[in-house]
Amino acid sequence: MKLYLCGLKSYQLDLGIECMAFTDPRLERTLQGIKRDHSETDRRQRTPLTHPYLLTILNTLGHTSYDDVVLRAAFTLAFAGFLRVGEFTYQQTDLDTGNAFCNWFLTKSSIQLIAGGAHLELNLPASKTDPFRHGIQLTIAASHAAGCPVMAMKSLIQIDSHRPADAPLFCIESHQQLQFTREYVVQMLQELVIRGGLGPGAWNGHSFRRGEATWAAKVGIRDRQIQTLGRWRSDTYKLYIEYSREQRIALLQRFQQAQTLTQVHNSPRRP
């Protein structure tokens, strides 16, 4: 309902109509009453694709099959660059835009290997946080280890030399060059986690961003740094970070131990 009201307000602003009604406190109270009468729908569960899980599914992929090389490059690039699924996938209707495709979606020319492969530059033409399509330049560092996005991209470039520079960065099948859709990515993710023995879980498109934020927090990257890496404009990134049962127990133990030490320190001393 709030999204509908935002759209209505935007439409009225475009028409030059006064919008004071949208700031009326009675409207906010009405919305609060509706929320109380109608319980919230259950949040969709999303299993975070953390780095260990990513390595597990990469181990199920080969190194010679074209589709496997594409998936390895796409998954590692998405993880290292905190990419949204919509930022590296596309539909057939997007291809029909012709020359305008490169203004919205990744092409082969969006990738530049720097310093012999020490890192790569990714030119993201459009994203959720770049609505005016100024373009965002992302630096993806090489890890020189399993799951390295630069190594995976090198392999893709070598096997993908038959396609022009303005072609989509990723596609399915070397010769048919089918569109690399969100549905395909989610389907393959769900198949690969089963193949890797991770269980069905709740794997979907949000598993990438949720897993990246969760893993970053686990390895000690600070909140604001996570926000910067993920290009979040608000504090919503905190909702993406999940803590395991063991982590929650450890946090509670630290909290209780600190509380005990504080009580001992503040207790009156006997003369």
Distance from C-alpha of 32 to C-alpha of 11, rounded to nearest angstrom? 24
Q: Which residue has the higher pLDDT, 37 or 25?
A: 25
- Kindly tell me if the per-residue pLDDT of 43 is higher than 70: no
Sequence-distant (≥ 6) Cβ neighbours of residue 166 within 8 angstroms? 101, 102, 107, 108, 109
What pLDDT is attached to residue 54? 96
What is the pTM assigned to this prediction? 0.77
pLDDT, tens digit, 9 for 90 and up, residues 63-116:
999 999 999 999 999 999 999 999 999 999 999 999 999 999 999 999 999 877
What's the gap between Cα 84 and its chain centre? 4
Residue with tokens 């997007």: 94
- Kindly tell me if the per-residue pLDDT of 259 is higher than 60: no
Q: Looking at residues 125-139, what average pLDDT do you find?
A: 85
Would you kindly state where each structural domain of the chain is located, as residue ranges? 51-228
Amino acid at 25: P
What pLDDT is attached to residue 96? 93
Residue 119 host element (H or E): strand 119-124
Q: Looking at residues 184-191, what average pLDDT do you find?
A: 96
Q: Looking at residues 224-229, what average pLDDT do you find?
A: 90
Tokens of 246: 């063991």
Distance from C-alpha of 25 to C-alpha of 89, rounded to nearest angstrom? 42
Q: Which residues pair with 113 in a beta bridge?
A: 120
pLDDT, tens digit, 9 for 90 and up, residues 8-25:
777 777 777 877 777 788
> Contact 157/171 with Cβ under 8 angstroms?
no
How confident is residue 266, by pLDDT bands cut at 50, 70 and 90? low
- Kindly tell me if the per-residue pLDDT of 182 is higher than 60: yes
Distance from C-alpha of 191 to C-alpha of 90, rounded to nearest angstrom? 20
Superfamily holding 51-228: Intergrase catalytic core (1.10.443.10)
pLDDT, tens digit, 9 for 90 and up, residues 138-156:
999 999 899 999 999 999 9
